[in-house]
Amino acid sequence: MGKGGSLSEGVIKKILLSYTYVAIWIFLSFTVIVYNKYILDKKMYNWPFPISLTMIHMSFCAGLAFLLVRVFKLVEPITMTREVYLSSVVPIGALYSLSLWLSNSAYIYLSVSFIQMLKALMPVAVYSIGVSFKKETFKTDTMVNMLSISVGVAIAAYGEARFDTWGVILQLGAVVFEATRLVLIQILLTSKGITLNPITSLYYVAPCCLAFLLVPWIYVEYPTLRDTSSFHFDYVIFGTNSFCAFALNLAVFLLVGKTSALTMNVAGVVKDWLLIAFSWSVIKDTVTPINLVGYGLAFLGVAYYNHSKLQALKAKEAQKKVPPADEEANNRLLEAEGQGREEK
């Protein structure tokens, strides 16, 4: 074959690999969300202990990351001083633990489909907090876009058949803590030239999460678990659930590293609609027409926002005014805004 044929084969191979990465990420993200819902929901596995579940995830991920970094030495640790760890990693770990705790708690009260709709507010939270921390520039058209997303989510909430005020408060709190964490990653880590891959991120952050979750666990969930003599730890259920959570972290890194943050956002939209369909058809959650209209409006706002961010990144790259580190930070922020670690 000629040179043109070789190029065509290369392009086809790249496209197929990209679709493979997308499929793996969607599958794992979908699995973790539905699995967490299954464990926490009182009508299913009936183990409504979100702090304990989050601590199991963090223990598993921290232990596996330690083995990969320190024992098998498959991943090099990041050179980090105690000062940087205490001033940067610890506050990020605290916010991460709160985000995971609240988001997992929301599964007890809300349907999978409605939680995905509420997560559409992630760009609104990230942009608003970014403006507050002076990491984003206030723009009227962007704020109008944020308002359109908020209105769409409000319409979806109005049409929710199983609306639960406490569940909504928990999920919105998780969005705020996650958005703050993403902005602080930009300020405290990326600005210092520190980039953590999924393994090193879990190696440094997971122990912090465990420490911060231990205090509320002792007072909130431990007394109930201690008095529940009928419960026996199911190593298969919690082991496979924790492994899926760990694998999802790797899949995020693989997808963004091999494709782009934009690809992940588009894949996230596909995943959200699949989850809504699954929640309606299999779990038998009620999805109303008003739900769909509201989420559709929010989805259009999120899509436009991501498109605007992409165009801005392309413009800066063309002008060659953005240092590589800043461009990487923007791509990471774009990646995270569309997801918000739901996949907790």
- By the 8 A CB rule, do 249 and 335 touch? no
Model confidence band, residue 5 (pLDDT cutoffs 50, 70, 90): very low
Query: Tokens representing 339?
Result: 């997801």
For 76-127, what is each residue's pLDDT tens digit?
888 888 998 999 899 999 999 999 999 999 999 999 999 999 999 998 999 9
Task: Quote the mean pLDDT of the chain.
Answer: 85
pLDDT higher than threshold 80 for residue 4: no
pLDDT higher than threshold 50 for residue 339: no
pLDDT higher than threshold 80 for residue 7: no
pLDDT higher than threshold 80 for residue 222: yes
Query: Tokens representing 293?
Result: 């209209």
For 167-180, what is each residue's pLDDT tens digit?
999 999 999 999 99
Least confident of 92-101, 237-246, 268-277: 268-277
Rounded Cα distance, 110 and 101, in Å: 15
- By the 8 A CB rule, do 294 and 154 touch? yes
For 300-311, what is each residue's pLDDT tens digit?
998 888 888 778
For the entire predicted model, the pTM comes to: 0.85
Quick one: CA dihedral 66, 72, 74, 75, positive or negative? positive
For 29-63, what is each residue's pLDDT tens digit?
999 999 999 999 988 999 999 999 999 999 999 99
- Cα→Cα distances 118→65, 283, 342, Å: 31, 19, 11
- By the 8 A CB rule, do 318 and 146 touch? no
Q: What is the pLDDT of residue 332?
A: 55
Q: What is the pLDDT of residue 176?
A: 96
User: Residue 28: CA atoms inside 13 Å, Cβ hemisphere, count?
Assistant: 23
Model confidence band, residue 322 (pLDDT cutoffs 50, 70, 90): very low
Q: What is the pLDDT of residue 323?
A: 52
- By the 8 A CB rule, do 87 and 302 touch? no
pLDDT higher than threshold 90 for residue 227: no
- Per-residue HEC secondary structure of the chain comes to CCHHHHHHHHHHHHHHHHHHHHHHHHHHHHHHHHHHHHHHCCCCCCCCCHHHHHHHHHHHHHHHHHHHHHHCCCCCCCCCCHHHHHHHHHHHHHHHHHHHHHHHHHHHHCCHHHHHHHHHHHHHHHHHHHHHCCCCCCCHHHHHHHHHHHHHHHHHHHCCCCCCHHHHHHHHHHHHHHHHHHHHHHHHHHHHCCCCCHHHHHHHHHHHHHHHHHHHHHHHCHHHHHHCCCCCCCHHHHHHHHHHHHHHHHHHHHHHHHCCHHHHHHHHHHHHHHHHHHHHHCCCCCCCHHHHHHHHHHHHHHHHHHHHHHHHHHHHHHHCCCCHHHHHHHHHHHHHHCCCCCCC
Model confidence band, residue 327 (pLDDT cutoffs 50, 70, 90): low
For 193-211, what is each residue's pLDDT tens digit?
787 888 888 899 999 999 9
- By the 8 A CB rule, do 113 and 280 touch? yes
When pLDDT is averaged across residues 14-36 and rounded to a whole number, the result is 89
Token pair 């083995």 is at which residue? 67
- Top mean pLDDT of 3-7, 180-184, 237-241, 270-274 is at 237-241
pLDDT higher than threshold 90 for residue 190: no
Model confidence band, residue 136 (pLDDT cutoffs 50, 70, 90): confident
Q: How many CB atoms lie within 10 A of CB 70?
A: 11
pLDDT higher than threshold 50 for residue 294: yes
pLDDT higher than threshold 90 for residue 292: yes
Q: What is the pLDDT of residue 104?
A: 95
